[in-house]
Amino acid sequence: MKNNLLKLSILAIATAASIPAFAAGEVGSGPNPYSDCGIGAALFKETAWAAATSNVTWDLGLTAITSATVSPETCTKRNIKAAMFIRDTYAQIVEDAARGNGEHLTAALEIFECSASKQHAAVNEVRSGMSNAVAKPGFNEQQHLEKAGQLFNIINDAARKNCSA
C-alpha cells in the first residue's frame, strides 16, 4: 500500500512537471482537465464542480490532467460517453463485431456519429481491427480496461475513416 502511494506520488509529480512540454496553443485554449476530462467529466457532465471534485478524489486528477495534456481531443463529451459505453458493453460489442452486426456495435458507431448508411464499411474496419488485436501476443493477459481502450481506438478510427462527411 505504502509502495503504491509512493509510485502514485512520483507519477503525479512527473506528470505535473511534463504539462508545459505538452501544452500547445494559446494559454487557456484547451479543455479544463478537472471539469472537462477524466472520470469526473463522464459522471457529472453538467456540473463542473462535481466533475472536478470526482477527478481529484478518484486519482488526484492524474488521469484527467494526463488526458487533457497528451490528447485533449479525448476530453469531448462524445468520447467520454463512447469510452464508458465500450467499457460497459465490451463483450457484447466484440461479439457483434465477430458476427458483423449487432445492436451494441451499431450503438457504439452511432455515438461516434456514424450514420446507418456508412456503418457497413465501419463495421468491416472494426472486425479487421479486432481480429488483429486479438491475434497479438499477450492479448489474453490484458486487463479489461486495456482491451476496452483498444476497442475504443479501433471503433474511433473506423468511424473517422468511414463515417466522416
Q: Is the pLDDT of residue 16 over 50?
A: no
Q: Is the pLDDT of residue 32 over 90?
A: no
The chain-wide mean pLDDT, for the chain, equals 76
Q: Where are the domains of the chain?
A: 79-163
- Residue 106: the pLDDT is 96
CB 122 within 8 A of CB 106: no
- Residue 156: the pLDDT is 87
DSSP class of residue 75? G
Q: How far apart are CA 148 and CA 7, in angstroms?
A: 24
* pTM beyond 0.75, yes or no: no
Residue 136, φ and ψ in degrees, nearest 5: -75, 140
- Residue 98: the pLDDT is 94
- Residue 83: the pLDDT is 80
For residue 60, name the pLDDT band (cuts at 50, 70, 90): low
Using one digit for the tens of pLDDT, what is the confidence trace for 88-126? 899 999 999 999 999 999 999 999 999 999 999 999 999
Q: Is the pLDDT of residue 26 over 60?
A: no
For residue 67, name the pLDDT band (cuts at 50, 70, 90): low
Q: How far apart are CA 154 and CA 165, in angstroms?
A: 19
Which helix H or strand E contains 74, and what residues bound it? none
Q: Please list, in sequence order, all residues whose beta carbon lies within 8 angstroms of the beta carbon of residue 161, skipping any fewer than 6 positions away.
A: 122, 125
**What mean pLDDT is predicted for residues 135-156?**
89
Q: Cell for 72?
A: 485533449
- Residue 140: the pLDDT is 92
Q: Cell for 137?
A: 501476443
Q: Cell for 82?
A: 463512447
